[in-house]
């Protein structure tokens, strides 16, 4: 009885320690998931919405003379424009407006 228990114990240990072969479709599944993840990265439209939100909040803070909040919104606008620069925009129309916007944001501070 003890010998059979030891045999089964050794059998379980040796079979569980062997690496299992990876199925061929795993690479395809990983590539598919990476493609989906890349599509989920924010684009210019999402950043434009952030700029609108922080711009509106900045205007409201200035009207209420809440300059601490206004400074925060300016910082958020700067961060958003830095993220936009990292998108490597290829459209000439959009690319020409970004430095103008960045200069005006920096003047607010």
Q: pLDDT 10s per residue in the chain (109 long)?
A: 556 666 666 666 666 665 566 566 788 888 888 888 777 777 778 888 999 999 999 999 999 999 999 999 999 999 998 888 887 666 555 656 666 666 665 565 5
Long-range pairs of 50-57 with CB within 8 A, sequence gap ≥ 24: 50/76, 50/80, 51/77, 51/80, 51/81, 54/80
Structure tokens at 70: 């206004």
3-state DSSP helix/strand/coil % of the chain, to nearest 5: 80, 0, 20
pTM of this prediction? 0.52
Domain boundaries, the chain: 41-109
Contacts of residue 25, Cβ cutoff 8 Å, sequence gap at least 6 = none
């Amino acid at each position: 009885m003890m010998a059979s228990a030891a045999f089964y114990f050794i059998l379980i240990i040796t079979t569980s320690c062997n690496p299992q072969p990876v199925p061929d479709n795993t690479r395809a599944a990983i590539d598919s998931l990476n493609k989906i993840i890349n599509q989920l990265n924010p684009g210019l439209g999402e950043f434009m919405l952030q700029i609108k939100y922080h711009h509106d909040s900045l205007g409201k803070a200035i009207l209420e003379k809440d300059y601490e909040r206004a400074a925060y919104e300016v910082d958020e606008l700067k961060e958003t424009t830095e993220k936009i620069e990292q998108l490597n925009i290829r459209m000439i129309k959009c690319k020409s407006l970004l430095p103008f916007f960045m200069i005006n944001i920096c003047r607010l501070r």
